[in-house]
Amino acid sequence: MINDARTYLALMMCSLQAGKPIDQETWTVLNAKNLTESSLVAGGYWNRDQVYLFFDGPDHVNRYLRSRGSVRVM
């Protein structure tokens, strides 16, 4: 789970160096473990060769949220 912009930006820099930017079609919630029904949602995404950080209300953000499947690691 990513809960802060610093971690997200570090992961984004590594992925850009590898030539595989993340969040091209989706975005990542950056404060997932601190969310409440009324809290602002912080997020990050990649668009037009730029990394974006943002925040918005849960009602507006809900239409963009995408669930990602869990992957079991053994």
**What are the tens digits of pLDDT across the range 8-45?**
889 889 988 998 888 887 788 888 777 777 788 888 88
What does the alpha-carbon distance between residue 36 and residue 28 come to, in Å, rounded to a whole number? 17
Q: What pTM value is reported for the model? A: 0.67
What does the alpha-carbon distance between residue 45 and residue 28 come to, in Å, rounded to a whole number? 7
The pair of structure tokens assigned to 35 is 């969310």
What does the alpha-carbon distance between residue 65 and residue 41 come to, in Å, rounded to a whole number? 11
